[in-house]
Amino acid sequence: MNLLARYKRLSFWNKLTVWGTLATFLGTAIAIYTLFSSSEEKISFDKSPTIKGVIGDVNVNYK
């Protein structure tokens, strides 16, 4: 019996459990990916068109 046939035989609550489990796995994978990816983005402003004469760096930390 393939997975689609088994899925069709499940009750509503068991189908809801399957989708909840898949969402949990996907959310965990996204959380781990964002945790280990680079969390610092460097933005450099040499000449700003709105603020004249400002030169510097801005570090943006996503945590």
**Does residue 61 or residue 22 have the better pLDDT?**
22
Listed in sequence order, the residues at least 6 apart from 5 whose beta carbon sits closer than 8 Å to its beta carbon are none
Name the residue type at position 23.
A
- For residues 42 and 60, what is the distance between their CA atoms, to the nearest angstrom? 6
| Tens of pLDDT, residues 5-60 | 999 999 999 999 999 999 999 999 999 888 887 656 666 655 555 555 556 677 77
- What residue segments make up the domains of the chain, in order of their start? 3-61
- The dihedral through the CA atoms of 54, 59, 60, 63 has a sign that is negative
Evaluate whether 61 touches 39 at the Cβ level (below 8 Å): yes
Q: For position 34, what pLDDT does the model report? A: 84
